[in-house]
Structure 1
């Protein structure tokens, strides 16, 4: 059993625990911005392939007391790096956290790199090159309360970048956050899903992938672990084949998205094509004022602008009042979920929420508000 750590956006730790347990992880424990868990290599590959919420899955190598640069150098050198990194492979070091004496992440990363390549020079007479963009082995070092945790990053590029979305609108929602919001809402695939402010389509697309049981990792070019010395290609290919076999062919209920901007609707349609779901999901340009419910019941989901990135010059208060009126007057029998990072604007909706879930959109504290529409 190896020890792993899944990093997630702040506030999503309980959801991450739930998802990891569903994927077969053992000894799952929530922590700040993540969850630790245990499992074998197959679990590591499966979590990278299937998990919708994490950014990265780290494999823990060692933890040791660390206050100074000397402690750090010696602790890193106690790891036999030849098991993970040969001189022909490139490396990069990512450092997070700090101690009272190690409070600059760039210096910390440099010290770790020096300790590793010095060991290689002594052992092989040559060393790995540093490659910051696409390294063969990415090493993660985290300092917290005078302890250092050293891990290998098994994911490579952040898992929230599914790979299906080269086209995004002006204020895109991360795919992992969209998946988390859908999980929070407890939406079920047999309910219609409609986003009347869909932008480039992230919320409807994540709902569609969940409904069709499509593993989000299937769209990625590669995972970080594919360049590890112990990479098992047969195992990964089997897990991918199993994932493809488990997909559903059709949606149990319709998934729709609309937006006033024709260009972002074109982006949403292109992204749906990249997902292989262009014939499953319906996107159309439409003004919010013209939106009508396509069915008697379902879930309305939207992420309206909150003034942080979009619409600084427009009257967003009027826009939110219109949103509230459309929901109140036309969507009786539906449930609505609205993500907002602006309390004053949220009040302009003019509806009383039945629940509020605190979440972070990047560093911005937000609330996912639930409205029962009668």
Structure 2
């Protein structure tokens, strides 16, 4: 317990509760939900595990300093006064990321420059040598967050955003973020206990995340590296043990995960990405127009998809969304169907009453994740997808 320290996991708007639930399942201590973030405590091994296993975290930060700040001069002095020698040396390369929500500061790049100057000057004045800045591949990545008149300084334990899982090499026009896909799946209640369909699968992100949830596979298993691997105290043996223990918790999946898309190029990209994630045995994809398909299983089906919003694809949206509703109503009995869209006007034309509606964001677009419950009817499925 004495080795525990505070960490903050950053996430997307609306995912705070499910991220907190993930952290509880992993064994985090003192969990507190914030806005687009969840703070918690754990030891070094847990820091490794959080980066490897959290599905809805964008970054995991390790706070090291905080103070009130009112001006650029004040910021420089307080950064300069901090004991940086515990974390950096003259041989270390570093980079600074800044986020601002303050009337006192308006330019994040300028704040990053001011912080960099203070750190470099501290080393030069003390040792006569200074660490270098490396924006792309730094040894240490420092995160500065100024909220009103309060500044938090943290070490970025993750490096590149955790949505960059490492399996996606090909994308379509409007790809969905991996963290967003995982969060939508968890919000929809997907737990791998039924068949699953993404009828507009694009490059296969939702399918891949669905399979990893179903099999309890760590989402970031395919990443090339995390920022903490460059830290001087990185424990390779401990990290490998964390990976081994996490892989021992994977489980069998006894249902089917399927994806459709009209575009042959999308299907090929989906197959490539699914293969990169080593999940081909769990996921089938085929070139089909969803509007010409029917449910192929007698048991319960879980659907989640990301249809076009009209932002980047030229489609007559009202008719398109009406066809979504008609296809679900006529051909998909015994189904929980979830979709995300930012086109709230087109959503009205689905012609079905949603049983749930959750506010989320897809990048900068305010969106809704909606659920339609399609009850069992007498209609028998005729569509056959055995040929793919």
TM-score by length of 2: 0.93
Name the SS for the 2:221 alignment partner. Answer: helix
Which residue of structure 2 lines up, in the alignment, with residue 265 of structure 1? 267
Q: Is the 8 A contact 2:104 2:149 kept in 1?
A: no
Match of 1:77 among 67, 76, 80: 80
* Residues 90 and 315 of structure 1, relative CA distance in 2, 3 Å threshold: same
Match of 2:311 among 308, 312, 325: 308
Q: Is the 8 A contact 1:154 1:225 kept in 2?
A: yes
Deviation per residue, 1:186-244 (Å, 9 max, x gap): 12212111011000111111000111111012110000111112111111111111222
Tell me, in whole angstroms, the C-alpha distance in 2 between the residues paired with 1:207 and 1:99. 38
Match of 1:17 among 6, 17, 20: 20
Deviation per residue, 1:240-261 (Å, 9 max, x gap): 112222223x422100001000
Tell me, in whole angstroms, the C-alpha distance in 2 between the residues paired with 1:244 and 1:14. 25
Q: How does 1:157-168 map to 2 (within 5 A)?
A: 157-168=160-171
Which residue of structure 1 lines up, in the alignment, with residue 324 of structure 2? 323
Which residue of structure 1 lines up, in the alignment, with residue 205 of structure 2? 202
Name the SS for the 1:218 alignment partner. Answer: coil
**Matched residue count:** 371
Q: How does 1:107-118 map to 2 (within 5 A)?
A: 107-118=110-121
Name the SS for the 1:163 alignment partner. Answer: coil
**Does residue 242 of structure 2 align to residue 239 of structure 1?**
yes
Deviation at 1:99, TM superposition (A): 3.5
Gaps of 5+ in 1: none
Deviation at 1:155, TM superposition (A): 0.2
Tell me, in whole angstroms, the C-alpha distance in 1 between the residues paired with 2:165 and 2:158. 11
Tell me, in whole angstroms, the C-alpha distance in 1 between the residues paired with 2:81 and 2:43. 24
Q: Is the 8 A contact 2:306 2:340 kept in 1?
A: yes
Q: How does 1:140-155 map to 2 (within 5 A)?
A: 140-155=143-158
**Does residue 224 of structure 2 align to residue 221 of structure 1?**
yes
Tell me, in whole angstroms, the C-alpha distance in 1 between the residues paired with 2:250 and 2:223. 17
Tell me, in whole angstroms, the C-alpha distance in 2 between the residues paired with 1:241 and 1:151. 28
* Larger displacement relative to structure 2 (17-26 or 239-248): 239-248
Deviation at 1:289, TM superposition (A): 2.3
**Does residue 107 of structure 2 align to residue 90 of structure 1?**
no
Deviation at 1:47, TM superposition (A): 0.4
Tell me, in whole angstroms, the C-alpha distance in 2 between the residues paired with 1:230 and 1:252. 42
Tell me, in whole angstroms, the C-alpha distance in 2 between the residues paired with 1:171 and 1:282. 21
Tell me, in whole angstroms, the C-alpha distance in 1 between the residues paired with 2:14 and 2:282. 32
Which residue of structure 1 lines up, in the alignment, with residue 346 of structure 2? 345
Deviation at 1:23, TM superposition (A): 1.4
Deviation at 1:316, TM superposition (A): 2.0
Q: Is the 8 A contact 1:98 1:104 kept in 2?
A: no
Deviation at 1:131, TM superposition (A): 1.1
Which residue of structure 2 lines up, in the alignment, with residue 186 of structure 1? 189
**Does residue 278 of structure 2 align to residue 276 of structure 1?**
yes
Gaps of 5+ in 2: 376-388
Which residue of structure 1 lines up, in the alignment, with residue 9 of structure 2? 6
* Residues 99 and 287 of structure 1, relative CA distance in 2, 3 Å threshold: closer
Match of 1:60 among 59, 63, 85: 63
Q: CA RMSD in A?
A: 1.2
Name the SS for the 2:132 alignment partner. Answer: coil
Deviation at 1:70, TM superposition (A): 2.1
* Larger displacement relative to structure 2 (283-292 or 45-54): 283-292
Q: Is the 8 A contact 2:104 2:148 kept in 1?
A: no
Tell me, in whole angstroms, the C-alpha distance in 2 between the residues paired with 1:310 and 1:84. 48
Which residue of structure 2 lines up, in the alignment, with residue 30 of structure 1? 33
Name the SS for the 1:103 alignment partner. Answer: coil
Name the SS for the 1:216 alignment partner. Answer: coil
Deviation at 1:103, TM superposition (A): 2.1
Which residue of structure 2 lines up, in the alignment, with residue 362 of structure 1? 363
Tell me, in whole angstroms, the C-alpha distance in 2 between the residues paired with 1:78 and 1:240. 38
Deviation at 1:98, TM superposition (A): 4.3
TM-score by length of 1: 0.96
Name the SS for the 1:282 alignment partner. Answer: strand
Tell me, in whole angstroms, the C-alpha distance in 1 between the residues paired with 2:233 and 2:134. 20
